[in-house]
Amino acid sequence: MPEFLTLLPPAEALNLLLQNLPPAQVKAERVPVGQSLGRVSAQAISAPEDLPGFSRSTVDGFAVRARDTFGASESLPAYLALAGEVPMGRAPAFELHPGQAALIHTGGMLPSGADAVVMLEHTQAARAGEVEVLRAAAPGENVLHQGEDVRRGQEVLPAGALLRPAEIGGLMALGIGEVSVAARPRVGVLSSGDEIVPSHQTPAPGQVRDVNTHTLSALVTAHGGIPCPYGILPDDRAALHGALGRALVECDLVVITAGSSASARDLTAGVIGQMGSPGVLVHGVNVKPGKPTILAVCDGKPVIGLPGNPVSALVIAGLFVIPVIERLLGLPGGRPRPALSARLALNLPSQAGREDYVPVKLSRDSTGAWLAEPIFYKSNLIFTLAQADGLLRIPADANGLEVGALVEVVLL
């Protein structure tokens, strides 16, 4: 049986892979902003106008000149003459003079001369055409000034920004209807193994349905790529060579499952080594699950060999495939992952010198704090991962974690 190369820690292995990739050259395409959720900006975007475009009230109340309210209190209110009511959706046709106030609603445009708004509950009706102000207002109080959000010409989004609901709302507020985004990278997905049959087929004894093509395709889609399945390949050098060659021509990244274990049937590393320079960079990562991972670059294109077991394949894809997709999209490296802190529900053993990733189920204790309960599993049981809320990482320098330990859970 062939031996693994020197096992690398996952972070070191990923850095080695990324360092051997050429600088990202993001292909761009224009899409309607309303259809850009989850896409990545391909170029910086500047504001074509001020936002907001006019100074407006953030509350219901009375627009005032702040200095006319100085010293006002419930025992000694300020009395201001009503100059009118600000119409919604239109500019007021009057301006405030000393000693005047105007009724204004949330979002209404401040009349000329006004520099603050007194909340309605801090006023009361006086004589007809007059209002009592029971609290002083500071200049700018309860006012959103023109350009306070962004100024015309200001960069509002850099290249490489993930477009979330807030970004989409901001672009729409500026009247930007189209945006240049990174084209989705094409990710070839190859599944190999003589025992694998299509998922719609009833397996014969000794056969299993193809899981990895579908789980990995879903993961690729969820993180901004276009999955390109190449079918199920037999454990045959010529078949793998041909499919991998086609995928490298047609795709930006290639993922291969199975064939990566250090065994007599291991073909993947040898075939990858024939497909371009520098070839295999890593064959073996110091992690559980997923030790027999292959990381390679073939003439500028990344190739990742994953274990065949579905749980191992998904865990390792999270560590290596997702960062490469993000690199191809132009996203900055080291982006935070959704995670939360929890207390470990029971003792969790581990082998020192190796990073372990353990699926956990989250629940609340009597105080409302999060508890993480490990799910003990075998790496070919996909519903083990389906039942988990997240993954807990045990560092390589730990012999395990004790019950009650505060841990970080990366959410699935």
Report the pLDDT value the prediction gives residue 264, as an integer from 0 to 100: 33
Q: Which domain holds residue 110?
A: 56-144
Using DSSP, state whether 270 is helix, strand or coil. helix
What is the block-wise mean pLDDT of the chain (412 residues), using blocks of 10 residues?
65 95 91 96 96 96 97 95 96 96 97 97 92 96 96 96 96 96 97 89 90 96 97 90 96 85 65 93 89 94 92 92 96 87 91 86 93 80 84 86 91 89
What's the first-to-final CA gap in the chain, in angstroms? 35
What integer pLDDT is reported at residue 190 of this predicted model? Answer: 96
Rg (CA), the chain: 30
Q: How far apart are CA 180 and CA 49, in angstroms?
A: 19
Token pair belonging to 67: 């200095």
Output the domain CATH number for residue 84. Answer: 2.170.190.11
Same domain, 301 and 215: yes
CATH code of 274's domain = 3.40.980.10
DSSP class per residue in 37-76: TT-BBSS-EE-SS-BSSS-EESSSEEEE-GGGTTT--SSS
Do 119 and 100 share a structural domain? yes
End-of-domain residue from the set 329, 353, 376: 329
pLDDT for 325 equals 97
Looking at the structure, tell me whether residues 319 and 190 fall in a common domain: yes
> In angstroms, rounded to a whole number, what is the distance separating the alpha carbons of residues 228 and 327?
18
List CB contacts of 55: < 8 A, sequence separation 6 or more: 109, 110, 143, 144, 145, 146
Domain-located, residue 240? yes
* Cβ pair 11, 357 in contact under 8 A: no
Strands (E) across 65-205 are located at: 78-85, 100-104, 116-119, 123-125, 130-133, 143-144, 155-157, 178-182, 186-192, 196-197
3-state DSSP helix/strand/coil percent for the chain, to nearest 5? 20, 35, 45
Q: Is the pTM of this model over 0.85?
A: yes
Q: Do residues 194 and 94 share a domain? A: no
